[in-house]
Structure 1
Amino acid sequence: MSILKGLKILDFSTLLPGPYATMMFADMGAEVIRVESQARVDLIRVMPPFDKEGLSAAHGYLNRSKRSLTLNLKHEASVEIIKTLVAEYDIVIEQFRPGVMERLGLDYESLKKVNPKLIYCSLTGYGQTGPYRNRPGHDNNYLSVAGVMDYSRRKGEAPTTMGIQIADIAGGSLHSVIGILAAVVHREKTGEGQYIDISMTDAAFSLNAVYGSGYLAGGIEPQPEEMQLNGGTFYDFYETKDGRYFSVGSIEPPFKKILCEALGKSELFGIGMSEKAADQEMFKKEIKAVFLTKNYEEWLAVFDGDLEGCVEPVLTFAEACDHPQLQARGMIVDVPKVNGASQKQMATPIKFSSAKPIYQHVGTAIGENTTDILVGQGFSIHQIREWKEQGVFK
């Protein structure tokens, strides 16, 4: 039995933030229909790299277990189709700029007249209000405006482009899922629907949990490489003799003691416990020098699985896939494809005691389920053919 069986979602989002959120819902058993345009194809569908059959790996992952319905939303019949669906698919997530869904007649106020219990989530870069509400942006823009990137860099150097999209996923996707599930609980208690306004910039701003709170409460503005967790102390990354890196996070005294002993520098423990900036700088300098005396494999042997010093190697993604911890957690799964083959994908990270994740299939072809969805809503084949001739869908 799936944990979210019974939840039905219409997904009007594209690219990464919304699709990642609805993938999480689909993994937990919700039924998700993607409402897509064939005139303006989601770029994720054509983003490399591709698998052996030419399927975008990102699309196969982000849109797994979802069905695809293509509609020309500017056509009046499409609006009526959506209103018919909303009677049953009573959760909507959309990612258009503010005002777009209203112009189409598919905004919250219009659709809640069809279904007062509707939960409707608008996910945008800057939110539905404020001077930036209509401004375009991407992950690095949101992180920059949210004050994250300035102190998340080396002193005197440019901010680093992240390998993952923090504002998009930690900001947009996860907060959308939390907001929608909270609205579901509220609806179960009261019978009321809800409109949810998620801004990726708002969410990224709230992630400044440690140093943002310090500035607001104490007036201490975080600076690059000067705080405890951004390189201002020994909590950092250290290069090995052969150009690889290890992460050192041995903040607590017991872990710090283990670190010093493993490095063969037990005498450094006292300096490491000092809060003086000069002592911290010296401690870090000593650690840096010691790491450069051995290569990656030699340090792996020192910091093996039994040494609990909060020191881990910086793995490549390929190495992470083979790591025994991630293997033991089942974090790579085979997801079926329509041709009988399968595609390896990352598993959902949420583990439930009484429910298993559902991986029905990889992301489908655009519009693959249009006819089946419409037939399931009670529309006749004759009507469907007529709509196709009228350009409601291809």
Structure 2
Amino acid sequence: MEGTLSGLKVIDFSTLLPGPFATMMLADMGAEVIHIESPTRIDLVRIMPPYANGQATAHSYLNRNKQSIAMDLKDQKNIDLVKEKIRDFDILLEQFRPGVMQRLGLDYETLSKINPKLIYCSVTGYGQSGDYKDRAGHDINYLAVSGIAGHSGRQVSGPPPLGIQIADVAGGSLHAVIGILAAVIERQRSGLGQYIDISMTDCSVTLNSMAAAATVAGQQPQSAESATLNGASFYDYYVTADQQYLSIGSLEPQFMLGLAEVLQLPILAEKGASFLAEDQSCVKQALTEKIASQPLAYWCALFQRLDLCVEPVLSLADALKSELAQQRQWLVNVPLANGKHTEPQLAHPIKFSRSKARYDFVGQQLGSGVW
């Protein structure tokens, strides 16, 4: 069964996380991806612990279904080879700083003259224009200047360093995939490719969504613990008697009243919907004391049969072993290069009624692919 993107050919010049995650998504959906890597300046994901089956697990995951081609882009012969091969490709994705591909002679203007149908996507921290375009940055910096960190976390402790790379993946990778596939659809009408400028910071700004909608409409800028969904209301995490956590998101009236009844907390029914800080403080104090009175297992057993937006906070290991993970098939066994063994990895999350994701092999050894 062919994937939804079968027939599309992608040449990938990216490293680390944002670009490789985007091209992995495309490859999972059937696109043919050729990953160009430097033979001397190794992708850090290749050497990032932990390891399994002789390779870094992050590399095996992010580069599955891709052919790895070792190529020194400082060698003019290799630049000429890329220009020769580019006629056969639909999509190019690169993640260098602005200007690098132009200096190499592999910029969009040059390559689009060879292949006018080429869709060319650049993923950078701050985009191709503006004073920040040449600045170095990481996920934490993009979240900082996009405003996300400024209204996250607690007033006492400040914005939290998160366990995942929101700007890299939700900002860079997923927006790159959206932009690329939109350009593929547009090309069906025009017959022409185009250039796509993905700034991880630009895209992270859009993740502010509701908070930004209020701010640009003239409301007071939000700060930590000033929003309904960011700790100001009882929508929060609560410590249990055994030092675990329970998430409570029972905002709608039917959930709020149901929670008040189950926990025997009339103050929640009386003041839970209030916008006054003192009322919310009283409600949160009552909930904090109640949840702290029993271990997590007690609350899980109680709320498992109730539809009240209350769930346990699971470790990643427990989440991946949960019944939900099994029912929704979060994990898949992907063949190693030799085809004799498999390695468990996160599955492609999009489920189609007819098409299937492909899992041909984990990330390959450097330079082992063919094109």
TM-score relative to the length of structure 2: 0.98
1:31-89 deviation digits (Å, cap 9, x = unpaired):
000010011000001101111x2211000100000001111111111111111221111
Q: Distance in 2 between matches of 1:289 and 1:358?
A: 49
1:200-219 deviation digits (Å, cap 9, x = unpaired):
00011111101111111123
Q: Distance in 2 between matches of 1:68 and 1:258?
A: 55
Q: Distance in 2 between matches of 1:262 and 1:35?
A: 58
Q: Which moved more, 1:72-81 or 1:169-178?
A: 72-81
Aligned to 1:50: 51
Deviation for aligned residue 1:156: 2.4
Aligned to 2:17: 16
Aligned to 1:73: 73
CA-based RMSD of the aligned residues comes to 1.0
Aligned to 2:209: 209
1:204-244 deviation digits (Å, cap 9, x = unpaired):
11111011111111232011112111101100100001100
Aligned to 2:152: 152
Please show how residues 119-134 of structure 1 align to structure 2 within 5 Å: 119-134=119-134
Please show how residues 327-338 of structure 1 align to structure 2 within 5 Å: 327-338=326-337
Query: How many positions carry a matched residue from both structures?
Result: 369
1:155-175 deviation digits (Å, cap 9, x = unpaired):
021321110000000000000
1:350 aligns with 2:350: yes
Aligned to 2:325: 326
The amino acid that maps onto 1:275 is F
Q: Distance in 2 between matches of 1:298 and 1:156?
A: 30
Contact kept? 2:21, 2:173, Cα under 8 Å: yes
Q: Distance in 1 between matches of 2:194 and 2:128?
A: 15
Deviation for aligned residue 1:267: 5.1
1:232 aligns with 2:232: yes
Instruction: Give ranges in structure 1 of 5+ residues lacking alignment.
Output: 374-394
Deviation for aligned residue 1:266: 4.1
Aligned to 1:111: 111
Deviation for aligned residue 1:285: 1.1
1:30 aligns with 2:6: no
Aligned to 2:135: 135
Q: Which moved more, 1:213-222 or 1:230-239?
A: 213-222
Aligned to 2:6: 5
Contact kept? 2:167, 2:204, Cα under 8 Å: yes
Q: Distance in 2 between matches of 1:6 and 1:172?
A: 24
The amino acid that maps onto 1:7 is L
Q: Which moved more, 1:339-348 or 1:17-26?
A: 339-348
1:218 aligned counterpart, secondary structure: coil
Q: Distance in 1 between matches of 2:134 and 2:48?
A: 26
Deviation for aligned residue 1:359: 0.5
Q: Distance in 2 between matches of 1:323 and 1:261?
A: 28
Deviation for aligned residue 1:186: 0.5
1:238 aligned counterpart, secondary structure: strand
Contact kept? 2:152, 2:158, Cα under 8 Å: no
Q: Distance in 1 between matches of 2:214 and 2:94?
A: 34
Contact kept? 1:21, 1:177, Cα under 8 Å: yes
2:35 aligned counterpart, secondary structure: strand
Contact kept? 1:9, 1:31, Cα under 8 Å: yes
Q: Which moved more, 1:156-165 or 1:195-204?
A: 156-165
Q: Distance in 1 between matches of 2:276 and 2:224?
A: 18
Contact kept? 1:65, 1:361, Cα under 8 Å: yes
Q: Distance in 1 between matches of 2:321 and 2:28?
A: 23
Q: Distance in 2 between matches of 1:60 and 1:18?
A: 15
TM-score relative to the length of structure 1: 0.92
Contact kept? 1:124, 1:198, Cα under 8 Å: yes
1:210 aligned counterpart, secondary structure: helix
2:122 aligned counterpart, secondary structure: strand
Contact kept? 1:153, 1:224, Cα under 8 Å: yes
The amino acid that maps onto 1:17 is P
1:69 aligned counterpart, secondary structure: strand
Q: Which moved more, 1:352-361 or 1:210-219?
A: 210-219
1:223 aligned counterpart, secondary structure: coil
Deviation for aligned residue 1:264: 2.4
Contact kept? 1:260, 1:268, Cα under 8 Å: yes
Aligned to 2:309: 310
Contact kept? 1:262, 1:303, Cα under 8 Å: no
The amino acid that maps onto 2:211 is Y
Q: Distance in 2 between matches of 1:359 and 1:77?
A: 33
Instruction: Give ranges in structure 2 of 5+ residues lacking alignment.
Output: none
1:87 aligned counterpart, secondary structure: helix
1:298 aligned counterpart, secondary structure: helix
Aligned to 1:290: 290
1:245-300 deviation digits (Å, cap 9, x = unpaired):
01111110111112112222245312213332221211111101100100111111
Contact kept? 1:20, 1:62, Cα under 8 Å: yes
Q: Distance in 2 between matches of 1:258 and 1:77?
A: 70
1:292-341 deviation digits (Å, cap 9, x = unpaired):
1001111111111x211000000001110111112101110000002311
Deviating above 3 A after TM superposition, structure 1's stretches of 4 or more consecutive aligned residues are none
1:229 aligned counterpart, secondary structure: helix
Aligned to 1:91: 91
The amino acid that maps onto 1:346 is L
